[in-house]
Structures are given as C-alpha cells and as structure tokens.
C-alpha cells in the first residue's frame, strides 16, 4: 500500500507587531485568565527559550520519518513547527538532523507531544524544542506510512489549527487564533505591569489585601 501524505496550503507568518508584543508576554500571565489553549501534558523545553510564531501543523504517525521533512520544506522564517504524534508512542521524530534542517529554514521553534532525541545536537543547533522527554527510538525515512500537513491537530491538551499564534516559554506552550492572541497579549502586558507593583508591595512585608493599584494617566 502506497503511503499517502496530505498537504494543505500554509498560512502566512504572524504580523511583526504581534510577535513583538508576544516577546514580552509570559505564558503564565495568560494562565491567570485563560483555561484553553495550553499544550500541557508535561511538554517542556529542552533548554530555556521563549519564542512566538505561526503554527505549521503536522500529524505524524508511527515511525514515518518523511512527514516531518516534508513539513520543513514548507517552513518560512519565524514559523513554529507543531507536531502531533498521532499514535502517542515513545518514538522521537525530532533529532539533530531535523534541528539542522529546520534551523536552515529559519524555524522559530518546534513543539512535539512526544519525545525528541539527540539532545546535545539540538542544543548545539540552538533550535528551541518543547517535547515530552527523550527517546533513543526514532523515526526513519524508510518507514513511509503517511501523514498530514497544515491540518487541525491535537498537540498535547490543545487543539491547534494551521496558522494559529503560538507562544512558548519556560513555563509552557500556549496557542490561540491570531485575533484572540492579540487581545490576550494586550491584557497580559497590562497585568504584568501591575504584577511588578504587587511584587514590590509584597517584598516590603505588606499584605496583599492592602495593595491598591495606582490609576494610570
């Protein structure tokens, strides 16, 4: 049986102004007000990083190593590769080779609801990767099962549509449609300004219940 690879037209990159705002936003700030959109599921960064970009989605089943490289061929600078491991197995589909190829295309980061491999090579390449642990078992381009690109996927606990805005930092990964992410980014920046004042208030030994936010002009 011939492997079938489904590919849908990709979405444009995120606007520069949205990326600029997101570069100052913490996922944990959004977590104060939003309950959907967090990838979760113990998906953690390989090394400390913060990125924002448009999701290029991948549904990658089994040991097929072809589908991820097909996705890399579609990458535009600033994209974030979001990979759903359809079979929820312990097989790594991202390692040193994928990191090198993705870096050459200008990828902002990679998010996988499965393990990675070749951790030292990923770190050396400087490609931010969020994943669920590490595995010595890997995909192989000889195993051609099939897969899909730029389709709605489930990555961890979140639904991710092609072109969704992705924000990933040391606390987690959050995804939302672009309009919603823009609204959340604005409110998150305002909340973070308030948090600075709250931290100063608490550090002085005063009660949180005594805090009063000064009005802004």
Which two three-digit tokens encode residue 102? 């993705």
Any known ligand binding at 53? no
Q: Any idea of the CA torsion for 112, 60, 127, 12, to the nearest 10 degrees?
A: -100
Any known ligand binding at 98? yes
Any known ligand binding at 97? yes
- Residue 16's φ and ψ, nearest 5 degrees, are -60, -35
Any known ligand binding at 78? no
Calpha distance 69→82 (Å, rounded): 13
Any known ligand binding at 156? no
Q: Are 140 and 66 in contact (CB under 8 A)?
A: no
Which residues face 208 on adjacent strands? none
Burial code of 166-185, b = ≥16 C-beta within 10 A, e = fewer?
A: bbbbebbbbbbebeebbebb
Q: Which residue ranges make up the annotated binding site?
A: 95-98, 118
Q: Which residues are annotated as part of the binding site for Mg(2+)?
A: 118
Binding site listing for substrate: 95-98
């Amino acid at each position: 049986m011939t492997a079938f690879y489904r590919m849908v037209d990709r979405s444009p990159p995120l606007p520069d102004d949205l990326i600029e705002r997101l570069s100052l936003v913490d996922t944990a700030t959004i977590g104060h007000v939003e309950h959907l959109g967090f990838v979760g599921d113990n998906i953690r960064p390989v090394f400390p990083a913060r990125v924002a970009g448009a999701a290029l989605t991948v549904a990658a089943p089994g040991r097929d190593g072809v589908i991820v490289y097909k996705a890399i061929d579609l990458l535009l600078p600033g994209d974030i590769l979001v990979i759903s491991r359809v079979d929820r197995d312990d097989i790594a589909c991202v390692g040193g080779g994928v990191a090198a190829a993705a870096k050459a295309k200008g990828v902002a980061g990679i998010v996988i609801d499965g393990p990675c491999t070749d951790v030292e090579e990923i770190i050396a390449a400087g490609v931010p990767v969020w994943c669920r642990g590490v595995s010595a078992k890997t995909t192989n381009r000889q195993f051609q099962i099939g897969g899909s690109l730029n389709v709605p996927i489930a990555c961890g606990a979140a639904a991710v549509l092609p072109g969704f805005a992705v924000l990933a930092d040391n606390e987690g990964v959050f995804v939302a449609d672009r309009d919603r992410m823009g609204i959340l980014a604005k409110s998150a920046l305002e909340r973070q300004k308030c948090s600075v004042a709250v931290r100063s208030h608490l550090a002085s030994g005063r009660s949180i219940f005594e805090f009063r936010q000064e009005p802004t002009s």
